[in-house]
Amino acid sequence: MPDAPAKIEIECIVNGAPRRFRAWPMDRLLDVLRRELALTGTKEGCGEGECGACSVLLDGALVNSCLVPAAQAAGSVIRTIEGLALAGEKLAAVQQAFLDCGGAQCGICTPGMILAATVLLEKHPQPSETEIRAGLSGNLCRCTGYTKIFDAVVRACQSTGAAR
């Protein structure tokens, strides 16, 4: 059996709350979130950083959590799909727009897609179609053909206006 270095203790902020867990240093952040923290909203689609189903926000930046080793999550601020809804069960504008516009079909790409759309709108509050395509090009959807996802992003920036 191969050598087994020790698990490490990691502290970070996840969805606004301090969390602490033990993991192998090169455990994927994706697995840590799903397994140790029971945050199963973040999904595995490919394991190679291509599909974006595992997207989370790491220190404010969209990343593929299947490519982030747990050791690098130490001391970071992480936001997953579970942390997006506003207080009192009110959906964030992007989530509501996905519901209203049919942006989710089977739903497996949806958490990652919603996070990507959220950071896109933070960077470009009124994005052009080109900016939308570029901003979402790292999130693959096999069901929708993306048309209604674009509609949802446009709807979200209309309804957001100034408030988020």
In the complex, the smallest distance separating the C-beta of residue 113 from other proteins, rounded to whole angstroms, is 9
CA distance 76 to 140: 26
Would you count residue 118 as binding other proteins (CB under 8 A)? no
Contacts with other proteins in 14-53 (CB under 8 A)? 24-28, 34, 39-53
| Stretch 86-115: interaction string toward other proteins, x if CB under 8 A | -----x---xx-xxxxx-xxxxxxxx--x-
Q: Choose between 21 and 148: whose C-beta lies nearer to other proteins.
A: 148
CA 153 to chain centre: 15
Position among 12, 14, 32, 68 found at the interface with other proteins (CB under 8 A): 68
In the complex, the smallest distance separating the C-beta of residue 151 from other proteins, rounded to whole angstroms, is 9
Contacts with other proteins in 123-162 (CB under 8 A)? 129, 132-150
